[in-house]
């Protein structure tokens, strides 16, 4: 369908799915308002996600603040490495995201994974120009731009804070308390749905690339040596996979495999990632993502986060573009290790052994009465080096003297002054850093995908109709009720029917404006699955009936009002 992106944007604005925020003041790029219809679709998708990924898998949900202090993001690495590539036109001053400039104007894909030098070379090779004024960008430097929104916490200079760029850190920093709620037992999962913020260089495509967005994230904390997913639960789910090896070929093809086959054949390295690919695919289908326009693409080495050993994106095709809607990453222990190092708290979990184990502990009890006078201010560092040597190379203490190196200088310590010893002790367990499996969903992009995949234009007897074939699970309204005309008691009866359906728990819209054909078309455009019409026959019959119209087939049938709620459900 030509210009699907424009058609979805136009319909969304006209019918209240989404539109640019603050249009009365000219609007600001990267911020979108969900209208009455879109807000309901979004809420239903969020609630469906909760049912599948939180309650359905036995996980628990939290809600953390959207502003966090600077130290959190120093520890997580966001302050040093959360960058996109920016290029500024020297003529008009327009800033563009350099990798997107390449992808939009060449055959190169996934330019995000390239270095700034490679991006500069491609811009020069293809003689790319500024999208605003057309001036050449071939000799302009590409720079890194940090996407974090900075703010101040408290009055005056206060404390530096940042709007969170992902909801995950709100879960990680609370791990010491969350593990207590889980009774220090692995595995356990924590979910969160909330806002995140990224100061995007060039926001575009409505809900696809924005500066404020909603994420739904699951952080699943596991013991990497013992915990395994229930692969049988999703073993037969068929996946369309696009591994790195196929992406690198000129004629690369998709690999079709079940979850079980993907694991057995090492197409997906992590069993946990494969497990969540299977869970997620079933969910995407239920909410209305078109499986003919859906794939899982593996991250190549250049775009994979340094902490992730395996990472796949769920991508949906809209208007010829593949849009990332979810990232699935095996994050290892990176996040908890960083917060354990930087904070004043313990991010480990005690792992109890099935049976106590007898272990040898090698230690030194250095004679500081000797080290202090002998080595002065170096004594403390020498003691630390002796302790490290005891763990790594205990045989070094068999000689008369032990040699250690501090700041490129060697020091000799008599073995008897080091007091090296080996003791056997009984241990009942050990402190371990859990590993993390993370499916991270972009709710706005999923809403956009569902709307785009539902959009259709059909030829019907009285012309063309636009219809949103939304899944019943996410349609903003489940049933619309109309009087044929608002007179002679039809309006009163229709309102009575609408109230009865609402009392039965259905989402109902009442409409008596315009002719019946136009009302049907309005509901088709917002994806309402069923329309109920009260007509003269309703009032004439002893057993009152109404007309029920199906959105997709446009077929109509008469149903008794007393059976209507059950019929619709």
The reported pLDDT for the residue numbered 1 is 54
Question: What is the DSSP secondary-structure string of 197-261?
Answer: E---SS-BTTTTB-SEEEEEEEEEEE-TTT----GGGTTT-EEEEE-HHHHTSTT---EEEEHHH
pTM: predicted TM-score of the whole model, two decimal places: 0.86
At 268, phi and psi to the nearest 5? Answer: -110, 120
- The answer to whether the CB of 59 falls within 8 A of the CB of 190 is yes
For the chain, residues with pLDDT lower than 50 are none
The reported pLDDT for the residue numbered 360 is 83
SS3 90: coil
Q: Strands across the sheet with 159-163, in order?
A: 67-69, 159-163, 149-153
Task: Compute the residue count for the chain.
Answer: 569
Cα dist from 342 to 149, 338, 491, whole Å: 22, 6, 67
- Residue 268 in tokens: 């997906």
The reported pLDDT for the residue numbered 363 is 87
The reported pLDDT for the residue numbered 80 is 83
Quick one: CA torsion of 356, 361, 365, 366, rounded to 10 degrees?
Answer: -160
The burial of 454, by beta-carbon neighbours within 10 Å (0-12 exposed, 13-18 middle, 19 or more buried), is given as buried
Q: How far apart are CA 322 and CA 313, in angstroms?
A: 10
């Amino acid at each position: 369908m030509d210009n699907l992106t424009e058609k979805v944007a136009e319909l969304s604005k006209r019918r209240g799915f989404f539109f640019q925020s603050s249009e009365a003041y000219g609007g600001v790029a990267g911020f979108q308002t969900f209208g009455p219809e879109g807000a309901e679709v979004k809420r239903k998708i969020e609630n469906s996600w909760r049912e599948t990924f939180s309650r359905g898998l036995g996980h628990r949900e939290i809600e953390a603040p959207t502003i966090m202090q600077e130290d959190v993001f120093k520890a997580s690495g966001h302050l040093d490495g959360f960058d996109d590539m920016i290029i500024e036109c020297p003529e008009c001053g327009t800033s563009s995201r350099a990798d997107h400039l390449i992808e939009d104007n060449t055959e190169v894909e996934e330019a995000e994974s390239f270095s700034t030098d490679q991006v500069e070379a491609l811009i020069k090779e293809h003689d790319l120009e500024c999208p605003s004024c057309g001036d050449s960008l071939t000799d302009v430097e590409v720079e890194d731009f940090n996407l974090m929104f900075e703010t101040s916490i408290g009055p005056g200079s206060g404390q530096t804070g940042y709007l969170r760029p992902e909801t995950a850190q709100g879960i990680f920093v609370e791990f010491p308390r969350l593990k207590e709620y889980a009774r220090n037992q692995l595995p356990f999962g924590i979910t969160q749905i909330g806002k995140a913020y990224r100061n995007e260089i060039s926001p575009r495509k409505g809900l696809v690339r924005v500066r404020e967005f909603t994420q739904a994230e699951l952080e699943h904390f596991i013991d990497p040596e013992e915990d395994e997913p229930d692969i049988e639960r999703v073993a037969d789910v068929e996946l369309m996979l696009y591994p790195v090896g196929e992406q690198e070929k000129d004629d690369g093809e998709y690999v079709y495999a079940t979850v079980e086959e993907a694991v057995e054949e090492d197409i997906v390295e992590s069993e946990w990632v494969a497990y969540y690919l299977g869970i997620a695919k079933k969910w995407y289908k239920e909410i209305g993502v078109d499986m003919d326009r859906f794939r899982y693409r593996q991250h190549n080495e250049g775009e994979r986060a340094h902490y992730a050993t395996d990472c796949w994106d769920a991508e949906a095709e809209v208007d010829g573009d593949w849009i990332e809607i979810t990232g699935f990453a095996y994050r290892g222990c990176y996040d908890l290790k960083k917060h354990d190092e930087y904070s004043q708290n313990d991010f480990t979990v005690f792992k109890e052994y099935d049976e106590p184990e007898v272990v040898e502990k090698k230690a030194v009890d250095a004679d500081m009465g000797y080290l202090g006078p002998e080595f002065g201010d170096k004594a403390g560092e020498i003691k630390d080096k002796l302790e490290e040597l005891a763990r790594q190379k205990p045989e070094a203490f068999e000689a008369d003297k032990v040699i250690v190196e501090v700041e490129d200088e060697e020091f000799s310590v008599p073995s008897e002054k080091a007091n090296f010893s080996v003791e056997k002790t009984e241990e009942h367990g050990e402190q371990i850093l859990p590993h993390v499996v993370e499916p991270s969903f972009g709710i706005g992009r999923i809403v956009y995908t569902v709307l785009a995949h539902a959009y259709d234009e059909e030829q019907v007897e009285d012309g063309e109709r636009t219809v949103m074939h939304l899944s019943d699970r996410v349609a903003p309204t489940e049933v619309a009720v109309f009087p044929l005309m608002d007179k002679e008691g039809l309006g009163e009866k229709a309102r009575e029917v609408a109230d009865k359906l609402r009392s039965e728990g259905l989402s109902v819209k009442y409409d008596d404006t315009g002719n019946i054909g136009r009302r049907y078309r309005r509901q088709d455009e917002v994806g309402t699955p069923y329309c109920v019409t009260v007509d003269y026959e309703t009032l004439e019959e002893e057993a009152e009936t109404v007309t029920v119209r199906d959105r997709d087939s446009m077929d109509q049938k008469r149903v008794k009002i007393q059976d209507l709620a059950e019929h619709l459900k």
